[in-house]
Chain A
Amino acid sequence: MNLLLETLLNGLLIGGVYGIFSVGFALQFGTLRIINFTHGDFVMLAMFLGFFAVSQYGWNPFAVIPVAMVLFGLVGAVFFTTVFNRLKEEPHEIQLIATITLSAIITAGTQGLFGQDARSLDTITEIFQLGGVHLGVWKVIGLGISLLLAGGLWLLLTRSGIGRDIRASVDDAVAARLQGINTRRAYLVAFSLGALLAGAAGATLITFYPVTPSVGANLLVLAFAAVLVGGAGSLPGAFLGGLILAVVQQVTATYQSPALQNAYVFLLFLFILVVKPAGLFGRLARVD
């Protein structure tokens, strides 16, 4: 019983981090309508940043998170201006291949620099007990940070001027432009926010999850599945999708085998697709 409870709780704690990078992915996809295959690699790079900052320079993992957010937000802005803003006008297959290639470049470049070995911060192993259940301190902190960021993003999108601009650009870009909204700025901010969330997720994830250069592809699949399970077009759906997938992964890893984690994620995804094609919280009806 304790094992089950521990597994479920661990899933929820890890799921917070999955939730925020899935939200970042959904935000970029929702605004630009481009599948950003580099999103997982951004998380991976932030994990490396966290790893080196903590293990080589003795930073507190806490301090890395805001630095990673600012840094990756800026990198996101650069990526948007140089690549994604141009891609927006291209046909889908060009967008697809461009971001896939970019992802391959980042992955291979990182492999060239750091090798394929897994790295983890095994220094951070503080665990506390709660009614007989063992939980990693950093996983709890990670969930806290994730909820904070998700809440902050929600406030930004619903209560601020730029948030309103972003929502307007998503709903109807032409009408928004006719109203005098600077849609390019809205896209820029949305894309950078997505990258910022990837940075935060990576810097948090490294405290309890090992990093390899190729981990980005796995994370991207998770983000994609989380968005579709939660329902495309819904940011809270993406967050909840991330939580659900993490729980499924943990249960699979505990009771079957870690190798089957993503297979079960995919099965769940297929199941949702069959019984509720719009996703759990999807608002958009789909036409064939």
Chain B
Amino acid sequence: MSTDISRDAGTAPVTPPSPAARSRRTPAKAAGAVLVLLICASLPLWAFPDDYSVGILMQIAIYAGYGLSWHLLAGYTGQYAFGHAAFFGAGAYVMAIFSYHTGLSPWLGLGLAAIGAAVVGLLVGLIALRVSGLFFGLITFGTALMLGVAANQLVGLTGGAAGLSLPLHLGDAGMMQFDTQVPLYEITLVIVAGYLLLTWALLRSRLGLLFRSVRDDPVAADASGVNIRGVRLGALCLSAAMAGLIGAIYAQSLLFIDPESAFGLTQSVNAIFTAIIGGMGSLFGPVLGAAVFVLLREVGMTISDGDGVYSVLFYSTVVFVFIMVAPKGLVGIGRRLFGLVRRDAGKRE
């Protein structure tokens, strides 16, 4: 039964256009992407200079990266991690524990966080990849739960349920702390851009083809000599490292981490929210989804006077109605609109 689940999971079409059309459109698309990125990077300078707005931009960037890491795994290899916070939180805690206990620069911690999360991914994968589909999802879910218990219990290392506050070095760039949030926001944007580039390059590489073959028809892929387990494990480790790196940035942006925000159910669901709101199987979907998700959450916070419960109620309801109406996400709506335009243009030719 797990086979059929992984097979028809991720039915979002990723049909590549013909090579000629692709090479014609690629430079324009790339230029557009760079332009959008530059605009995003410059937003704090001209549009939203205040601390509150930069904080929101920061969150959007973080959830974009987090959503991209989940989507790489689910969208392209069909492995649905219900507990993606296991990797996000592992990265956040590696970062926090490292800088708290050694006093060394968090810049080193970034690398360690990615490696630590990848190791968690590897361990999960070695067990979880004996099965696939929903079972895989449940094991990541349970891993997040277990790591949450560990973070609560190992008080000497993690500070327990009260969390871990990182030492202040305000204005010390060597310690990755700045006078404003803007530099950290720019760093996060660079990471997100890196994730986009990585996903894009993967999609047109042989490896990307292997990813999708494992998603669309594992039996046929196996018969064609594809090392299914190896491909799945590789994708899982890569995705985990990406989530861990973003988790480290998250911890550094707050200078605080606790078990609930690192490994909680909400944090796992957030990754899925961003990817699905944006639309599965599209490169920029998670970025769009992150913007919508963070803004919805802020609107919810505002209209409920900062009551987190009503905020969750608000954005969950909006997301629910949205997916019942538009299951293909924002990108799906966009495609439908542009699809109509393009078809018209084709007729005129």
Q: Of B61-69, B94-102, B317-325, B334-342, which binds chain A?
A: B317-325
**Interchain CB contact under 8 A, A232 and B74:** no
The residues in B between 161 and 212 inclusive whose CB is less than 8 angstroms from any CB of A are none
Majority secondary structure, A binding face: helix
- Interface positions of A from 93 to 107, Cβ below 8 Å from B: 93-94, 96-98, 100-102, 104-105, 107
A91 near B12: Cβ-Cβ < 8 Å = yes
B312 contacts chain A at the CB level, 8 A cutoff = yes
Residues of chain B lying within 8 A (CB to CB) of residue A286: 1-3, 131-132, 135
Does chain A have a CB within 8 A of B56?
no
Q: Inside 8 A of B142's CB, which chain A residues have their CB?
A: 221, 225, 266, 269-270
B316 close to chain A: CB less than 8 A: yes
Contact A288 B228 (CB under 8 A): yes
A97 touches B273 (CB 8 A): yes
| Interface: A284 (CB within 8 A) | yes
With a cutoff of 8 Å between Cβ atoms, the chain A residues found around residue B320 in the complex are 98, 101-102, 105
Chain B, interface residues (CB within 8 Å), range: 35 or more
Contact stretch, chosen from B110-118, B146-154, B243-251: B146-154
Query: From B319, which residue of chain A is reached at the shortest CB distance?
Result: A101
* Beta-carbon contact of B272 and A112 below 8 Å: no
Check B51 for interface membership: any CB of A closer than 8 A. Answer: no
User: B280, A93: Cβ atoms under 8 Å?
Assistant: yes
C-alpha gap A161/B229 in the complex (Å): 43
Known contacts A101-B316, A288-B132, A270 near B152 by CB under 8 Å? no
Chain A: residues with Cβ within 8 Å of the partner, total of 43
Contacts of A262 in B (CB 8 A): 145, 149
B53 part of interface (Cβ distance < 8 Å)? no
A233 within 8 A of B: yes
Partner of B324, one of A86, A92, A105: A86
- Are A91 and B313 in contact (CB-based, < 8 A)? no
| In the complex with contacts A97-B323, A101-B316, A287-B12 CB distance below 8 A | no
For B317, list chain A residues within 8 Å (CB): 105
Q: Are A108 and B310 in contact (CB under 8 A)?
A: yes
Instruction: Say yes or no: is B9 at the interface (Cβ < 8 Å to chain A).
Output: yes
Bound-state CA distance A258–B337 (Å) is: 54
Q: Judge whether B134 is part of the interface by a CB distance below 8 angstroms.
A: yes
Task: Across the A-B interface, give the 10 residue pairs with the lowest CB-CB distance, nearest first.
Answer: A108-B313, A266-B142, A104-B316, A108-B312, A101-B320, A97-B276, A91-B11, A111-B309, A263-B149, A94-B327
* B contacts, CB < 8 Å to A: 1-3, 5, 8-12, 74, 80, 82, 127, 129-132, 134-135, 138-139, 141-142, 145-146, 149, 152-153, 218-219, 222, 228-229, 265, 269, 272-273, 276, 280, 309-310, 312-313, 316-317, 319-320, 323-324, 327
Q: List 16 A-B contacts (CB under 8 A).
A: A33-B5, A91-B280, A92-B10, A92-B80, A93-B74, A97-B319, A98-B323, A101-B319, A108-B316, A217-B265, A224-B141, A262-B149, A270-B127, A270-B139, A277-B131, A288-B131
